[in-house]
């Protein structure tokens, strides 16, 4: 390798000046960068300087309360977002007023109102309800699916609106949906063996295999302890929020151990009342949206 400070020469083959560097007999040519590439590079530098002057760009200004330069244009993404939100709210105000003055049935039958309510309800659902009920209302263990036609309480538009407004077992709301299942095992109402028998009966009436003798004993216990809410046939009662026990829909799991636990220590889950958190128009829109997920009643 030659010394890097040696005199530059002209390559006799390409007639291009060398850089004075060579490795293993290979000489480095001093070819200039393409003119088009240099022009683009210069333009990007000029663009960056102009952008820093016009737009908020340079962070960490010392001895000031500003986190960055404001730019000659005075541009602010926050103010633009606030303006856009204000414009959107103005556009929605008229339709929201229409929602307030219309009945739920009128909303359901008026295509424009229905489309607005569905869009508004979907947005509100994602912000407030999807955390528990899942995206699209698919539910999870302990949280009912809203995307089917199985309802613990009423699945009508009015019924759904009542549930959203007042919640389920919401303390302090006198209009809340309320029912109370006893803790049959924890409070000693039934023995462990009796609970096992009731589980066998539930397996039987929901179309699954169970011990026939245990199911027969459980049927008697069910009639004495459970039928007043769930009905003699276990079909449930939406007026009391008592679920149908003959289908395959189980909020807290439908395995044998899940059913045993639900009887031993009653679930008695809660849902918040939304009437003090959401305005009436939003609750109406949510009712229409939830009703649409599973067809409602």
DSSP 188-213: TSS-HHHHHHHHHHHHHHTT----HH
Tens-digit pLDDT string for the chain (297 aa): 444 445 578 888 888 888 888 888 788 888 888 899 999 999 999 999 998 888 887 776 665 566 777 778 877 777 778 888 887 777 667 777 788 888 888 888 888 888 888 999 999 999 999 999 998 899 899 999 998 888 999 889 999 999 999 999 998 889 999 999 999 999 999 999 999 999 999 999 999 999 999 999 999 999 999 999 999 999 999 999 999 999 988 999 999 999 999 999 999 999 999 998 998 989 999 999 999 987 666
Residues 147/293, Cβ–Cβ less than 8 Å:
yes
Residue 219 pLDDT: 96
Residues 292/235, Cβ–Cβ less than 8 Å:
no
Residue 66 pLDDT: 66
Q: Which helix (H) or strand (E) holds 263?
A: helix 256-264
Residue 57 pLDDT: 77
Which residues does 72 contact at the CB level (< 8 Å), separation at least 6? 53, 54
Residue 1 pLDDT: 40
Residue 67 pLDDT: 72
Residue 191, Cα to own-chain centre: how many angstroms? 41
Residue 295 pLDDT: 65
Q: What is the CA radius of gyration of the chain?
A: 35
Residue 60 pLDDT: 65
Residue 64 pLDDT: 57
Residue 2 pLDDT: 43
Cα atoms in the Cβ-side hemisphere of radius 13 Å centred on 52: 8
Residue 184 pLDDT: 96
Helices (H), 13-110: 35-54, 77-101, 104-109
Residues 140/134, Cβ–Cβ less than 8 Å:
yes
Which residues does 5 contact at the CB level (< 8 Å), separation at least 6? 20
Q: Residue 112, Cβ neighbours under 10 Å: how many?
A: 10
Residue 46 pLDDT: 96
Torsion sign over Cα 211, 217, 219, 222: negative
């Amino acid at each position: 390798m030659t010394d890097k400070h040696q005199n530059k020469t002209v390559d006799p083959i390409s007639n291009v000046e060398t850089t004075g560097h060579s490795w293993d007999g290979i000489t480095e040519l001093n070819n200039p960068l393409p003119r088009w590439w240099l022009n683009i590079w210069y333009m990007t530098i000029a663009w960056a300087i102009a952008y820093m002057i016009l737009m908020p760009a340079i962070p960490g200004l010392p001895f000031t309360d500003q986190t960055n330069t404001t730019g000659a244009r005075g541009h602010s993404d926050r103010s633009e977002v606030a303006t856009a939100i204000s414009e959107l709210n103005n556009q929605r105000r008229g339709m929201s007023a229409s929602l307030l003055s219309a009945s739920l049935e009128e909303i359901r039958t008026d295509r424009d109102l229905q489309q607005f309510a569905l869009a508004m309800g979907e947005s509100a659902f994602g912000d407030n309800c999807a955390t528990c009920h899942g995206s699209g209302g698919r539910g999870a263990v302990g949280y009912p699916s809203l995307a089917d036609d199985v309802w613990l309480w009423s699945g009508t538009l009015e019924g759904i609106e009542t549930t959203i407004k007042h919640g389920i077992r919401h303390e302090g709301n006198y209009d809340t949906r309320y029912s109370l299942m006893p803790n049959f095992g924890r409070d000693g109402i039934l023995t462990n063996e009796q609970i096992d028998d009731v589980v066998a009966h539930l397996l039987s009436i929901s179309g699954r295999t169970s011990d026939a003798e245990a199911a027969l004993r459980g049927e008697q216990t069910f009639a004495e302890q459970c039928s007043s809410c769930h009905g003699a046939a276990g079909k449930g009662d939406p007026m009391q929020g008592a679920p149908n026990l003959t289908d395959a829909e189980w909020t807290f799991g439908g395995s044998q151990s899940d059913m045993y636990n639900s009887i031993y220590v009653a679930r008695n889950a809660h849902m918040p009342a939304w009437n003090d958190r959401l305005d009436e128009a939003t609750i109406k829109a949510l009712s229409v949206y939830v009703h649409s997920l599973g067809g409602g009643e």
